[in-house]
Amino acid sequence: DSGVTQTPKHLITATGQRVTLRCSPRSGDLSVYWYQQSLDQGLQFLIQYYNGEERAKGNILERFSAQQFPDLHSELNLSSLELGDSALYFCASSDGTGGDTEAFFGQGTRLTVV
């Protein structure tokens, strides 16, 4: 158990809809990262938050947004969903002190858009 909790584990929704994925980081970790894993794109970095503020942005679509709350949990919002958004979305956390530290991954939320 990595200590990172993601909910829900599975989500099935229709095109055009909006969903929210939730992540609770390990106790004490200030950084939260979101990744998308799909068959054609592999693992892609989406966005990072550190102590409530956006720290880095990757290949995140404008239809997607995220935030980190004062209690350090994070939510990834996906709107106007398309079939191609079907993927496994991972959240990871670290203590945020830099690239040498390990990131701990949750078990992911599998999103299926139908």
Partner 1 sequence: AQSVTQLDSHVSVSEGTPVLLRCNYSSSYSPSLFWYVQHPNKGLQLLLKYTSAATLVKGINGFEAEFKKSETSFHLTKPSAHMSDAAEYFCVVIRPRSNDYKLSFGAGTTVTVRA
The footprint of partner 1 (CB under 8 A) covers 2, 4, 31, 33, 35, 42-45, 48, 50, 55-56, 58, 90, 92, 94, 98-100, 102-108
Q: How far is the CB of 102 from partner 1 (least distance, A)?
A: 5
Q: State the SS3 of 14-59.
A: CCCCCEEEEEECCCCCCEEEEEEEECCCEEEEEEEEECCEEEEECC
Q: How far is the CB of 4 from partner 1 (least distance, A)?
A: 7
Q: How far is the CB of 61 from partner 1 (least distance, A)?
A: 17
